[in-house]
């Protein structure tokens, strides 16, 4: 499906997947998103790393690092595909859900299953906490090397399925750090709709 994306300017892409369930794709810095929860592309030690993880630890401050140390001490390492929730410190969100994505080894080592599990478990935790909104980064597509388009083909249908099944969640954001990644995710959203996933698509201006 040709979405006629406004390639010269920024935009928000909305997928109406139910009433009132919506998945929105937007470029931005996830640490600034005023959602009930944001998802961290974490490491198994729940330590401050680079990428979005480093940005989240810096913006949240010491309360998040302290809670991560407690979770690590009580529950041990977080396995790839698993997720845990912590406090969010100074972030606008109420919770950070830390999930450990797969490292890309060419695509034939179960990477897609692990990435799908990251999205499913994060959605489950947020829904069980009674939250209404959650924002995801493009898990594994930075330091862990997962190709952006492959990641979009996993993330989008998984989030739609989980959102439709959720009791409390009604709004899911996919926050892409750069415009090129937003364009790739948006094209995949259009292609998946053409391939049979039922949802309406709208394109609007970003809120700021
Ligand atoms: N907001 C939204 N997205 C961001 C931001 C931000 N502020 N900063 C980066 N991204 P990465 P991974 C995007 O490397 O591949 C860490 O050290 C980035 O452009 O953060 O899952 C962890 O501790 C990319 O598209 O996570 C792990 O050890 C996406 O976030 C390891 O790296 C994910 O990139 C995890 O690697």
Residue 188 domain-assigned?
yes
Chain segment 133-173, per-residue pLDDT in tens = 999 999 999 999 999 999 999 999 999 999 999 999 999 99
Mean pLDDT taken over the chain = 96
Q: Within a 10 A sphere around the Cβ of 62, how many other Cβ atoms?
A: 10
Chain segment 53-110, per-residue pLDDT in tens = 999 999 999 999 999 999 999 999 999 999 999 999 999 999 999 999 999 999 999 9
Determine which residue's CA is closest to atom 3 belonging to ligand 1. Answer: 177
Q: What is the pLDDT of residue 8?
A: 79
Ligand 1 pocket mutation, candidates 52, 115, 177, 182, criterion most atoms within 8 A of CB: 52
Strand partners, 23: 15, 172
Q: In what order do the strands lie in the sheet with 22-27?
A: 83-87, 95-99, 37-41, 133-136, 171-176, 22-27, 12-16, 200-204
Three-class HEC string of 171-197:
EEEEEECCHHHHHHHHHHHHHHHHCCC
Please choose, from the candidates 170, 207, 178, 156, the residue with its C-alpha nearest in 3D space to the C-alpha of residue 52: 178
Q: Identify the domain containing residue 65 by its residue range.
A: 12-202
Residue 23 domain-assigned?
yes
55 CA from centroid of ligand 1 (Å): 9
Determine which residue's CA is closest to atom 10 belonging to ligand 1. Answer: 52
Residue 26 domain-assigned?
yes
Q: Within a 10 A sphere around the Cβ of 105, how many other Cβ atoms?
A: 12
| Type and span of the H or E element at 133 | strand 133-136
Q: What is the pLDDT of residue 199?
A: 87
Whichever domain contains 61, its CATH number is 3.40.220.10
145 CA from centroid of ligand 1 (Å): 10
Residue 162 phi/psi, 5-degree rounding, is: -65, -40
Q: What is the pLDDT of residue 195?
A: 83
Give the count of domains, the chain: 1
Q: What is the pLDDT of residue 51?
A: 98
Residue 28 domain-assigned?
yes
Residue 6 domain-assigned?
no
Atom of ligand 1 nearest to the CA of 41: 21
Residue 186 domain-assigned?
yes
Residue 144 domain-assigned?
yes
Residue 5 domain-assigned?
no
């Amino acid at each position: 499906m040709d979405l006629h994306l406004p390639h010269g300017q920024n935009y928000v892409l909305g997928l109406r997947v139910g009433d009132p369930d919506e998945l929105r794709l937007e470029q931005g810095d996830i640490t600034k998103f005023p959602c009930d929860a944001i998802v961290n592309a974490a490491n198994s030690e729940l330590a401050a790393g680079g990428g979005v993880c480093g940005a989240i630890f810096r913006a949240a401050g010491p309360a998040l690092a302290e809670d991560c140390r407690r979770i690590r001490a009580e529950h041990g390492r977080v396995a790839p595909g698993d997720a845990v929730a912590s406090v969010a410190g100074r972030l606008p969100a109420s919770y950070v859900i830390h999930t450990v994505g797969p490292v890309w080894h060419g695509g034939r080592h179960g990477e897609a299953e692990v990435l799908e599990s990251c999205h499913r478990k994060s959605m489950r935790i947020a829904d069980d906490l009674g939250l209404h909104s959650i924002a995801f980064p493009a898990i594994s597509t930075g330091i862990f090397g997962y190709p952006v388009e492959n990641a979009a083909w996993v993330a989008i249908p998984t989030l739609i399925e989980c959102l439709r099944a959720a009791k409390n969640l009604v709004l899911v954001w996919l926050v892409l750090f750069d415009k090129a990644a937003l364009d790739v995710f948006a094209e995949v959203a259009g292609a998946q709709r053409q391939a049979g996933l039922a949802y309406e698509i709208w394109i609007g201006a970003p809120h700021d």
